[in-house]
């Protein structure tokens, strides 16, 4: 149904790339961390800088610069290039630390540090100016100078010239397990230049640094014509979320009805490849088609098939999600998406979970010599989006026995039969009162004047056979 497929008008799309230098529309609260996501990590310590510096403290080793909380970008921030009260931005040198509270690693066998951060405007001293340290003898009253610090050799590869956030992970040596530690971020600003370092979160994760995810065998390419599936999108986020918007197709698992606010018209919902909560992806405060506000919490429902367009992030290293501001590119159907057949015994085949005015039924079984691979259609009941329904009967075709089926109109529906790569074309049989047989590798295109939401086929079971069709019977929804 075309009203559910809105073409992408690139110039008109207003989705913000929510990097550090974008203003995030209110409200943007920390997503629920209630175990809904299968991507959550097990943290021994996590300081997210969503609302402030928390229990972390800033300390100036040299100069007077301080780490500060940025309410605009929801992060901890340090820079030596800013307006120091003169009305003009200038450079100021300084060596500044951000120190965590005490972290107790008692009972932990293995752990690594994870820093979610972005660095921009860095020079050739990038690695020296941005350090991650650890100490086991830091004392609050004595400060950083009195403690013994070990450089954890945090990698800054690929950083330094953008506000694209990425994760830097460092495995902790076994000697730290069972001890009480402090972590610290150290920034150096120079007289003539300074980077800007923004940190979304700093944490200690139980276990070992995960191996880099492979991006081989991805399903989709992330474009409007070829969206990623959810599994591929999760792998992409784990590898380091892209700074550009992507398209992902999926099935709605659940909708958080309590997240709907009429003022903003957004919803929190979850999608997966199979409609179950396994390997689901959160869509945080997303909008409707073309960025329009949702009218109610019921605007989306479980089982809806969607394509989401927006930016994906690993929020606070806890939740993989489409961040606030994503929008639906399509809602029921996804063009070319496969709809599985649900078979009830020998004589009923049901297709549901779509909304389309064109539906291609395909019998992809390859063995044309087996009678049971035929789908012998007696009648079809189609239910429309407006809740009306229509039943058509193949006997009304009134053809001679064995006649090839081509293009036919029954009721308000147009049926087009295609032999495809099959060895036998679809035929009309008078036996049993009149049936249309869809043989191996045949297809039947069902076209309606309005959106169909389900198709229930009543079939005739071949004598001495246990079923109609086969496991390769499926449908394809199209716009």
For 372-417, what is each residue's pLDDT tens digit?
567 889 999 999 988 899 999 999 999 999 999 999 999 999 999 9
Q: Rounded to whole angstroms, what are the CA distances from 155 to 151, 160, 421?
A: 11, 11, 55
Strand partners, 380: 392, 457
Neighbours of 414 (CB within 10 A): 15
**Range of 73-87, 374-388, 456-470 with top mean pLDDT:** 73-87
Distance CA 385, CA 332 (A): 11
Give the lowest-confidence range in 113-117, 431-435, 445-449: 431-435
Q: How many Cα atoms within 13 Å fall on the side-chain side of residue 34?
A: 5
pLDDT tens digits for 167-187?
899 999 999 999 999 999 999
Q: What does the mean pLDDT of the chain come to?
A: 84
| Contact predicate 1/356, CB 8 Å | yes
Mean pLDDT of all residues in 68-90: 95
The residue among 173 and 453 whose pLDDT is bigger is: 173
Token pair of 96 as six digits: 């500044």
Give the lowest-confidence range in 32-36, 147-151, 354-358, 427-431: 32-36
Domain 43-206 in CATH 2.10.260.10? The answer is: no
Distance CA 155, CA 221 (A): 29
For residue 347, pLDDT over 90 is answered with no
Q: For residue 462, what pLDDT is reported?
A: 61
What is the rounded radius of gyration, in angstroms, for the C-alpha atoms of the chain? 29
For residue 87, pLDDT over 90 is answered with yes
| Contact predicate 238/290, CB 8 Å | no
Angle at 53 between CA 51 and CA 59, to 5 degrees: 160
DSSP code string of 287-352: EEETTPPPSSGGGS-TT-EEEEEE-EEEETTTEEEEPTT-EEEEES--TT-EEE-EEETTTEEEEE
| Contact predicate 277/261, CB 8 Å | no
For residue 304, pLDDT over 80 is answered with yes
Model-level pTM? 0.51
**Listed residue (255, 244, 203) closest to 19, CA to CA:** 244
Mean pLDDT of all residues in 103-110: 97
Token pair of 209 as six digits: 């640094």
Omega within 30 of 0 (cis) for the link into 333: yes
pLDDT tens digits for 249-289?
999 999 999 999 899 999 999 999 988 888 899 999 999 98
pLDDT > 70 fraction of the chain, expressed in percent and rounded: 84
How is domain 10-15+212-331 classified at the CATH fold level?
OB fold (Dihydrolipoamide Acetyltransferase, E2P) (2.40.50)
């Amino acid at each position: 149904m075309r009203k559910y497929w809105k073409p992408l008008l690139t110039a008109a799309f207003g989705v913000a790339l929510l990097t550090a230098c974008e203003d995030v529309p209110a409200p943007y609260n920390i997503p629920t961390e209630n175990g809904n996501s299968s991507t959550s990590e097990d943290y021994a310590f996590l300081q997210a800088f969503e609302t402030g510096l928390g229990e972390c403290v800033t300390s100036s080793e040299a100069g007077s610069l301080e780490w500060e909380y940025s309410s605009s970008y929801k992060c901890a921030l340090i820079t030596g290039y800013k307006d120091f009260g003169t009305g003009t931005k200038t450079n100021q040198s300084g060596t500044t630390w951000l120190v965590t509270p005490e972290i107790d690693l008692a009972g932990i066998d293995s752990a690594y540090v994870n820093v979610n951060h972005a660095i921009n405007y860095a020079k050739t001293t990038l690695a020296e100016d941005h350090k991650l340290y650890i100490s086991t003898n830091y004392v609050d009253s004595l400060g950083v100078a009195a403690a013994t610090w070990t450089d954890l050799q945090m990698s800054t590869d690929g950083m330094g010239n953008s506000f694209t956030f990425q994760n830097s992970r460092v495995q902790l040596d076994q000697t730290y397990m069972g001890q009480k530690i402090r972590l610290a971020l150290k920034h150096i600003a120079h007289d003539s230049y300074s980077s800007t370092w923004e940190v979304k979160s700093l944490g200690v994760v139980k276990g070992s640094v995960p191996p880099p995810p492979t991006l081989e065998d991805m399903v989709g390419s992330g474009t409007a014509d070829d969206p990623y599936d959810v599994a591929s999108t999760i792998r992409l986020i784990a590898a380091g979320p892209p700074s550009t918007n992507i398209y992902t197709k999926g099935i709605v698992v659940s909708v958080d009805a309590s997240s709907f606010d009429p003022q903003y018209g957004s919803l929190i919902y979850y999608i997966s490849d199979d409609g179950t909560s396994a390997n689901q992806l959160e869509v945080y405060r997303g909008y409707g088609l073309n960025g329009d506000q949702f009218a109610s919490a019921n605007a989306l429902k479980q089982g809806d098939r969607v394509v989401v367009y927006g930016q994906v992030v690993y929020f606070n290293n806890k939740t993989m999600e489409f961040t606030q501001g994503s929008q639906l590119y399509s809602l029921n159907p996804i063009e070319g998406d496969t709809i599985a057949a649900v078979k009830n015994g020998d004589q009923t085949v049901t297709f549901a979970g779509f909304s389309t005015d064109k539906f291609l039924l395909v019998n992809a079984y390859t063995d044309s010599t087996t009678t049971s691979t035929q789908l012998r259609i007696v009648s079809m009941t189609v239910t429309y989006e407006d809740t009306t329904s229509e039943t058509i009967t193949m006997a009304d075709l009134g053809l001679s026995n064995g006649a090839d089926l081509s293009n036919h109109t029954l009721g308000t529906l147009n049926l087009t039969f295609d032999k495809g790569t099959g060895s036998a074309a679809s035929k009309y049989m008078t036996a049993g009162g009149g049936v249309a047989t869809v043989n191996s590798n045949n297809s039947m295109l069902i076209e309606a004047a309005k959106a169909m939401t389900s198709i229930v086929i009543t079939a005739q079971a071949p004598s001495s056979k246990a079923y109609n069709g086969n496991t390769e019977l499926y449908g394809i929804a199209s716009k």
